[in-house]
Structure 1
């Protein structure tokens, strides 16, 4: 007699996924359009447009370590509602951002609430997913971000053909009101009462058990930053800018098609059965990108990267959460994304220097090889973990 599986797609899981979708849709819509807003409406330079993106990530990185403690002390759902509310209000205030420096201040403020909201949403999703199906569940939850990667820029750029930036900001704010509504309908598990100690420790900011996989994840993010930061400039230099508009669409489709199988394999056969092939596919995608000279090659690389990288992020996040005690899911999520965001931000800067010295073809070739270094480090980490578990089991049995 087969045991009935615990359901993943409960009402709360659906609502938290929808809330996360609208949050990331707004994030990617603004990420795509604000640089245009800076250069066209505020008469700013390209470097100022880049600073708009960098400062947002910087504030998110600075706040992320504290978000786990905030969730533990005040409750995950409460902090998600508060951070979403402030993220929404800040989006509306963009309408009044008629100077570059005011916009810069808003971006820093916006990044704070984005860090808390994404940490809270991820932790709630982990809490309401059955333990035996966590890899599959968090894989499905990650689809809300994957869809937003395509939907956000597409919606924003399409609307800007007919509407002003001010109207776009109001529409995005209204979508965030939908995220608030969906969050209010989520039944999140109760949070344990906070401890009475006042002094803030490293344990309050980071989940030590999640650090090894989070460090590997940061190197993965470092390599992926070569795609999100430079793919549009690279394709323009190749005369493939029109095909580049389909790159992330193909990328997202590949992720969505593979997601149900990847999650089930992760839970039934273990993480390595998914992670090693996904790392090879990601590396293959970057190496294909390095020799791209046609639309077909570009979209083929998007397929490989979507299948590879798209499977790796939810797997690594799940491993980070599984490494910690259940009540520390918020800290584990915060630790993972702190290092992940740091990898993206560092890569965007460092790889710009690599491009200026060696060019785009060499950049993607080097990053393809770098993914094999990430694979080696993951193998070292899993071997150490296996050795530690064996030694613990020997101690307990003796």
Structure 2
């Protein structure tokens, strides 16, 4: 008798998604509040804003090679729970930030937590997914991520209006605590978990999709760092609405087209992603009205929707299960470096020129990513519907 197919949507998988939603909601709270906090309350300039917003990516990139093997040996549950604790303290630390240096240091602590949490929960998602539905599982998991990032900015702005930035930092700590509690549902160590550290901290087969992800995220990181200030300059007060528009677009597309990355393959999916990302950032740069911001944000959301699932599956399929966390850790370094370096790069462009120029540079970087991907990604056969 043939065995029944392994289900994807289970109670444990739903709890995993809730864990991710609470954690990423805590990160979403920060995005519309932190740039103004650094610029207005701490007296920082554009480079300081870029470093404060994207600095957590730099510390996360340093931590990823160590967190990956730790997730394989100690288990996904261990790194998810401790990652939530560190990120929570990093957000709460802004209560005591009196200058830019202190805000950056607490942001770096948040990055250490981000490194551990993401590697653990992303590996757990793949552990629970049937082999032929990994892209679909990644899409559903990322829906919860973007749900948190959609709701978080709205709550963050409301809290800031009602109780100031301190209320935002406190709520971020509470949400991280909720993520830590739900982290109990994550798997422990794999059956054949390695007993010691691998010979190399990086998993080299995952570097190719990592490079393509990093190039595709550089412009998006500039969007995160400077879109709130750009919208304020245009005279539109509820800046969280832009983040929510982006996240709602990603959520809807990933629900409706969850299997698209599996069916198209990584090359066609990434090509589509880079083209839409470039179009979105160039629209924001050239259309100096609030309607242009929302149109460009929608286009950017289409581009970013499918880039991560397609390249993430490439990285996961390059590794056996007992090295899966290490592969994901290596792959996700690209995310951290893109957020950190992208924020600094866009901050430098803003300092030398303007915010629209920074968005134009971000779109140009997406075209460079497209050219690189044509040589690094081989076309794969589409999966039958």
User: Shared topology, TM-score over 0.5?
Assistant: yes
Aligned to 2:158: 158
- SS for the counterpart of 1:160 is helix
Shift of the alpha carbon at 1:263? 2.7
Aligned to 1:57: 57
State the distance in 2 between where 1:294 and 1:264 align: 35
**Residues 259/104 of structure 1: CA separation in 2 closer, same or farther (3 Å cut):** closer
Greater displacement, 276-285 / 63-72: 276-285
For residues 316-373 of structure 1, give each alpha carbon's deviation from its aligned partner in whole angstroms, at most 9, with x where no partner exists: 2222212222322211211122122112211222233334445444443443343232
State the distance in 2 between where 1:220 and 1:5 align: 35
Shift of the alpha carbon at 1:233? 3.3
**Residues 213/94 of structure 1: CA separation in 2 closer, same or farther (3 Å cut):** same
State the distance in 1 between where 2:52 and 2:260 align: 40
Q: Of residues 274, 281, 304 in structure 2, which corresponds to 1:309?
A: 304
For residues 94-113 of structure 1, give each alpha carbon's deviation from its aligned partner in whole angstroms, at most 9, with x where no partner exists: 54556766555443333222
Aligned to 1:87: 87
**Residues 272/260 of structure 1: CA separation in 2 closer, same or farther (3 Å cut):** farther
**Residues 295/63 of structure 1: CA separation in 2 closer, same or farther (3 Å cut):** same
Aligned to 2:252: 257
**Residues 193/44 of structure 1: CA separation in 2 closer, same or farther (3 Å cut):** same
For structure 1, which runs of at least 5 residues remain unmatched after alignment? 387-398
Aligned to 1:107: 107
Shift of the alpha carbon at 1:382? 2.0
State the distance in 1 between where 2:355 and 2:163 align: 35
Q: Is the 8 A contact 1:127 1:188 kept in 2?
A: no
Q: Does 1:217 align with 2:213?
A: yes
For residues 299-329 of structure 1, give each alpha carbon's deviation from its aligned partner in whole angstroms, at most 9, with x where no partner exists: 2211111111122122222222122223222
Q: Does 1:327 align with 2:322?
A: yes
Aligned to 2:371: 376
For residues 243-286 of structure 1, give each alpha carbon's deviation from its aligned partner in whole angstroms, at most 9, with x where no partner exists: 75432222122212211343312223423343322322222212
Number of positions where the alignment pairs a residue of Structure 1 with one of Structure 2: 378
Structure with more contact order per residue of length (Cα contacts < 8 Å, sep ≥ 6)? 2
Q: Is the 8 A contact 2:124 2:186 kept in 1?
A: no
- SS for the counterpart of 1:190 is coil
Matches within 5 A, 1:381-392: 381-383=376-378
State the distance in 1 between where 2:86 and 2:347 align: 33
State the distance in 2 between where 1:240 and 1:34 align: 19
Matches within 5 A, 1:220-231: 220-231=216-227
- SS for the counterpart of 1:241 is coil
Q: Does 1:345 align with 2:340?
A: yes
Shift of the alpha carbon at 1:292? 0.9
Aligned to 2:383: none
- SS for the counterpart of 1:224 is helix
State the distance in 1 between where 2:64 and 2:228 align: 29
Matches within 5 A, 1:5-84: 6-37=6-37, 43-46=42-45, 51-84=51-84
**Residues 73/278 of structure 1: CA separation in 2 closer, same or farther (3 Å cut):** same
Question: What CA RMSD, in Å, does the superposition of the two structures yield over aligned residues?
Answer: 2.9
Shift of the alpha carbon at 1:5? 5.1
What TM-score comes out, normalization by structure 1 length? 0.83
Q: Is the 8 A contact 1:139 1:259 kept in 2?
A: yes
Greater C-alpha radius of gyration: 1
What TM-score comes out, normalization by structure 2 length? 0.86
Q: Is the 8 A contact 1:12 1:187 kept in 2?
A: no
**Residues 253/68 of structure 1: CA separation in 2 closer, same or farther (3 Å cut):** same
